[in-house]
């Protein structure tokens, strides 16, 4: 992995999440009405995958950022959580992943298939709703992955 590859993934994935969360939290703090931030992590932040050190480090960083932001935002009635999908199909994934790797990753899933985007979105909706009002600083796995 080159420095450029490492830097790009860390910048987009971790620094981008930080900047978006910071902007949202500043606005929520100023508004004084509370709110919710849901960050996008990945099970790769917990599990190793060959060739994905930059992505794993960035997603683990998103999880840590979520925990820290939750502590800081609680005083403003804002809860901060993250969703951590395993294999969720989307057009970008198809562009950057070989069919062989997709088959291997799909095989690791307990249900033998990837998640549909709506299955991940349902968890995000839950985290953004009042049903999760006592949850903050957590990362919810949306995964059927087994070791």
Segment 43-97, tens digit of pLDDT = 888 888 888 899 999 999 999 999 999 999 999 999 999 999 887 777 777 677 7
Residue 14 predicted with pLDDT over 90: yes
Give residue 41's pLDDT.
Answer: 96
Give the tens place of pLDDT for each residue, 84-114: 988 777 777 767 777 887 787 778 788 888 7
CA distance 65 to 124: 17
Catalytically active residues, by annotation: 55
Q: Which residues contact 107 (CB under 8 A, 6 or more apart)?
A: none
**Each residue of 110-141: pLDDT tens digit?**
888 878 889 999 999 999 999 999 999 999 99
Q: Where are the domains of the chain?
A: 3-142
* Residue 147: per-residue pLDDT: 43
CATH code of the domain made up of 3-142: 3.40.50.720
Q: How far apart are CA 116 and CA 87, in angstroms?
A: 9
């Amino acid at each position: 992995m080159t420095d450029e590859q490492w830097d790009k993934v860390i910048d987009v994935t971790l620094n981008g999440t930080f900047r978006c969360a910071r902007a949202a939290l500043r606005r929520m703090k100023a508004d004084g009405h509370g709110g919710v931030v849901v960050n996008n992590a990945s099970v790769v932040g917990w599990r190793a995958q060959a060739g994905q050190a930059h992505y794993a480090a960035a997603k683990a960083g998103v999880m840590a950022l979520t925990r820290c932001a939750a502590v800081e935002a609680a005083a403003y009635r804002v809860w901060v959580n993250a969703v951590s999908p395993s294999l969720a199909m989307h057009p970008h994934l198809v562009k950057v992943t070989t069919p062989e790797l997709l088959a291997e990753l799909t095989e690791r899933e307990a249900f033998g298939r990837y998640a549909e985007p709506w299955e991940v979105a349902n968890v995000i909706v839950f985290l953004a709703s009042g049903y999760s009002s006592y949850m903050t600083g957590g990362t919810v796995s949306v995964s059927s992955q087994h070791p």
